[in-house]
Amino acid sequence: MDLSKYRLKDTEEILSLFRQDKEGFHKFYKEVEMLLNTLRIGDSIYIPDVCEEDSYIYFVKCVEFYMCEETKYLQGNDARIELSIDYSRIMRCLTYS
């Protein structure tokens, strides 16, 4: 399943979604964040298994925003969240710099 059409083009997309429904979007983002924080090294999540189809656009954008925010705090060899090429799977992987 190719979910790449939902990728985050820029941060303004997240801000726009937030402005449309501050409370609802914030709650949704926190749930995505909690899910990603529990993902262990080597584990992965298939997005269609954890998200309804009508929420893919929000879920993928939240994951990418999380990834952007996460990189601000990670050290060189810390495990990172990554998306598969088709954006359907999320993994936590070790990276080496």
CB 67 within 8 A of CB 80: yes
Number of H helices, E strands in the chain: 4, 3
For residue 97, the model assigns a pLDDT of 54
Taking residues 27-53, what's their average pLDDT?
94
Under the banding of pLDDT at 50, 70 and 90, the label for residue 96 is low
What tokens were used for 18?
A: 């937030």
Domain that holds residue 53: 4-94
Tally of domains in the chain: 1
77 vs 13, residue with greater confidence: 13
CA angle 51, 66, 82 (to 5 degrees): 75
For residue 31, the model assigns a pLDDT of 95
- 8 vs 18: CA distance, rounded Å: 14
